[in-house]
Amino acid sequence: MNFTLAGIFAVLSHAIPPFLPLILAILALLVLAQLIGRLRGYRLTDYRCLPAGIAALLAGLSTLWWLPMLTYSRLGLVATLTDWAALIAAALGVALITWLVLHPLSYLVRGPRGQ
């Protein structure tokens, strides 16, 4: 059974709405943190903050535990190559978003000491 591109969008039009508040909240947090940071002089490539990096790493690693649990499953049932690829991609995404939020927040709290 093949899905056309239009078919995929039709499915997504039903799949996304229940998660829309969560997606918007995360996006808002991300944009606000970056925007306020930039207005205060934050530059992503110029500022160093090891704790933000460690926190992002931990958030990413924790995904391996909570994401299967959130889907009524467990890490022990993540078995196939596709399973692992999906889970690792999700973990990387969580780590990246966490870092993109915490990094400018750290700058706002600590000031430009790392630059």
Partner 1 sequence: MTPPLESPRLDRRQLLKLSIGAGAAALMPLSGLQANTVSTRARIVILGGGAAGMSMANRLAMRLSGARITVVEPRETHHYQPGWTLVASGVWQPDRTLRLNADFMPRGIDWIRQPAVGVDADERRITLADASTLTYDILVVATGLQLNYHRIEGMSTDLIGNHGIGSVYAGPQEAARTSDAIDKWLAIGGGQGLFTNPQTAIKCAGAPIKMAFTTQSRIKITGNRDDFALDYFTPSDGMFSQPWINDFLKQRFDRDNIARHHGQYLSAIDPQARQAEFTGRDGNTETRDYDFIHVVPPMSAPDFVKASDLIAKEGAFAGEWLDTDIYTMQHNRYPEVFGIGDVIGAPINKTAASVKAQAPVVEENIAAFLEDKPLPARHNGYTSCPLITDIGTAMLVEFGYDNDMAFMPSFSFIDPKEESWAAWVLKDYMLQPAYYAMLEGRV
Residues forming contacts to partner 1 in the complex (CB under 8 A) are: 1-17, 20, 68, 71-74, 77-80, 82-83, 85-87
Least Å from the CB of residue 48 to partner 1: 37
Task: Compare residues 45 and 76 and give the one whose CB is closer to partner 1.
Answer: 76
* Cα–Cα distance, 69 to 63 (Å, whole number): 9
Task: Compare residues 14 and 39 and give the one whose CB is closer to partner 1.
Answer: 14
Residue 34, class by beta-carbon neighbours within 10 Å (0-12 exposed, 13-18 middle, 19+ buried)? middle
Task: Compare residues 64 and 108 and give the one whose CB is closer to partner 1.
Answer: 64
Q: Is the dihedral of CA 71, 72, 75, 78 positive or negative?
A: negative
Least Å from the CB of residue 56 to partner 1: 24
Task: Compare residues 35 and 92 and give the one whose CB is closer to partner 1.
Answer: 92
DSSP of 30-59: HHHHHHHHHHTT--TTT---HHHHHHHHHH
Least Å from the CB of residue 77 to partner 1: 4
CB 60 within 8 A of CB 91: yes
Least Å from the CB of residue 21 to partner 1: 11
